[in-house]
Amino acid sequence: MKKLSVFFAGIFFLALSLTVTAQVKANPDFFVGKWNVVVAGTPNGDSKLIISLERKEGKLAGAILDSTNKEIAKISKIEEKEKSTTVYFTAEGYDVYLLMEKKDDDHITGNLMDMFTAKGDRIKETKTKP
């Protein structure tokens, strides 16, 4: 009887060890917020964009803004991966995409159309007291 209880205890701990993972899940909302992004080397010079992303009904959505926070393009599609997000939008009549990869908590790197390098930093919203 003692061997049987040791056997079941061993099976229990084996099953428990298989279900416990030591990995920390990535923050699914890392890209939510506003990002200052500079795309270097475009034909018109370096382009500065503000990417505004929010989570709606479980999916990312957003827009491209200018420096006055005026919307200049809607994001038509967003592909989310564990450490990167690709946003698709129309710029100057062309359908383009911007890959954004997490660098650290407040910075991203990436590229526009696999041709132009991009880097960006999170815009931290400051709350004013009434």
> Superfamily assignment of 33-123 in CATH?
Quinohemoprotein amine dehydrogenase alpha subunit, domain 2 (2.40.128.120)
Q: Could you give the C-alpha distances from 3 to 6, 8, 19, 94, 109, in angstroms and in order? A: 5, 9, 25, 71, 58
Q: Is the pLDDT of residue 19 over 80?
A: no
Q: Could you give the C-alpha distances from 95 to 34, 75, 76, 90, in angstroms and in order? A: 21, 10, 9, 4
Report the pLDDT value the prediction gives residue 61, as an integer from 0 to 100. 95
pLDDT, tens digit (0-9, with 9 covering 90-100), for 24-83: 445 568 999 999 999 999 998 999 999 999 999 989 999 999 888 899 999 999 999 989
Report the pLDDT value the prediction gives residue 17, as an integer from 0 to 100. 58
The DSSP code for 83 is S
Give the integer Cα–Cα distance in Å for 121 and 107.
4
Query: Domain ranges in the chain?
Result: 33-123
Which residue, among 67, 12, 77, has the nearest Cα to 34 in the 3D structure?
67
Selected residue with higher pLDDT from 13 and 24: 13
Report the pLDDT value the prediction gives residue 25, as an integer from 0 to 100. 47
Report the pLDDT value the prediction gives residue 68, as an integer from 0 to 100. 87
3-class SS of residue 2: helix
- Residue 22: pLDDT band (50, 70, 90) is very low
